[in-house]
Amino acid sequence: QVQLVESGGGLVQPGGSLRLSCAASGSIFSIYDMGWYRQAPGKQRELVAAIISGGSTNYADSVKGRATISRDNVKNTVYLQMNSLKPEDTAVYYCNAELLTDTYGSTWYGWGQGTQVTVSS
């Protein structure tokens, strides 16, 4: 059983910063990729940032230059550092991962429970 647990969300003022964390635990052999998505009320869920096993990253245009995704392979944890936050960044942020659970090629794909980020004066 694999679990993804997010933390670090909350209320922040425009222009402020925060760091989200997502810790993966359970039957993990290796991780293909991990990423962050967000969903605002009345909007579709969208990719914010992703990082793959080789270290390559990609970002949504809306956060490029303001967000940095990183990974601690020892802790199986991915981070999302967000700076210069805007009200439009307000959303529920979800952690996502695809990983190998054994040496036979079994994979797991799933989501964390989500953490609320609210950017408001």
Q: What is the 3-state secondary structure (H, E, C) of 56-104?
A: CEEECCCCCCCEEEEEECCCCEEEEEECCCCHHHCEEEEEEEEEECCCC
Q: What tens-digit pLDDT sequence spans the chain (121 residues)?
A: 899 999 999 999 999 999 999 999 999 988 899 999 999 999 999 999 999 888 899 999 999 999 999 999 889 999 999 999 999 999 999 999 999 999 899 999 999 999 999 999 9
Tens of pLDDT, residues 29-63:
888 999 999 999 999 999 999 998 888 999 999 99
pLDDT confidence of residue 3: 96
